[in-house]
Structure 1
Amino acid sequence: MTRPLLIAGAAIAALSLAACGQKTETKGAATPAEQAATPDANPAATIATPADEASAPVFVEKASASDLFEIEAAKLAQATSKNAEVKKFAADMVAAHTKSTAALKKAIADAGQTTLVVVTVLPADLQAKLDDLKKAANFDKAYMENQVDAHQSALNLMQRYAQDGDVPAIKAFAASTAPVVQQHFDHAKTLRDATK
Structure 2
Amino acid sequence: MRTALLITAAALALTACGHKADNAAAPDANVAMADNIAIPATAPVATSDFVKNAALGDMYEIASSKLAATMASSADVKKFAAAMITAHTATTAGLKAAIAKDGVKDKPPAALDADHQALIDALKATKGADFDALYKTQQTDAHNNALALMKGYATTGDQAALKTFASETAPKVKTHLDMLGKM
Q: TM-score, normalised by structure 1?
A: 0.73
**Structure 1 stretches lacking a partner, 5+ long:** 1-28, 192-196
CA contact (8 A) 2:31 2:41 kept: no
> What is aligned with 2:102?
111
Task: Select 2:68's aligned residue among 62, 73, 77.
Answer: 77
**Structure 2 stretches lacking a partner, 5+ long:** 1-24
- Comparing both structures, which one devotes a greater share of its residues to strand? 2
Q: 1:47-92, CA deviations, whole angstroms, 9 ceiling, x for partnerless residues?
A: 13696x6211110000000000000000000110121111010000
Is it true that 1:141 corresponds to 2:98 in the alignment? no
> What is aligned with 2:82?
91
Task: Select 1:124's aligned residue among 114, 117, 134.
Answer: 114
> What is aligned with 1:62?
53
Q: Which amino acid aligns with 1:141?
A: A
Q: Aligned residue pairs: how many? A: 156
Note the C-alpha offset of 1:39. 7.0
Alignment of 1:1-196 (within 5 A): 40=31, 42-44=33-35, 46-48=38-40, 54-113=45-104, 115-136=105-126, 138-191=130-183
CA contact (8 A) 2:32 2:40 kept: no
Note the C-alpha offset of 1:43. 5.0
User: Structure 1 pair 43/182, CA: closer, same or farther in 2 (3 Å)?
Assistant: closer
CA contact (8 A) 2:98 2:162 kept: yes
Q: Which amino acid aligns with 1:120?
A: A
Note the C-alpha offset of 1:41. 6.0
Note the C-alpha offset of 1:164. 0.7
User: Structure 1 pair 50/80, CA: closer, same or farther in 2 (3 Å)?
Assistant: farther
Name the SS for the 1:46 alignment partner: strand
- Comparing both structures, which one devotes a greater share of its residues to helix? 1
User: Structure 1 pair 39/110, CA: closer, same or farther in 2 (3 Å)?
Assistant: farther
Could you tell which deviates more after superposition, 61-70 or 162-171?
Answer: 162-171
- Rg larger for: 1
CA contact (8 A) 1:56 1:166 kept: yes
Q: Which amino acid aligns with 1:95?
A: T
Alignment RMSD: 2.4
Name the SS for the 2:158 alignment partner: coil
User: Structure 1 pair 84/43, CA: closer, same or farther in 2 (3 Å)?
Assistant: closer
Q: TM-score, normalised by structure 2?
A: 0.77
Name the SS for the 1:42 alignment partner: strand
> What is aligned with 1:9?
none
Distance of 2:73 and 2:40 partners within structure 1: 40
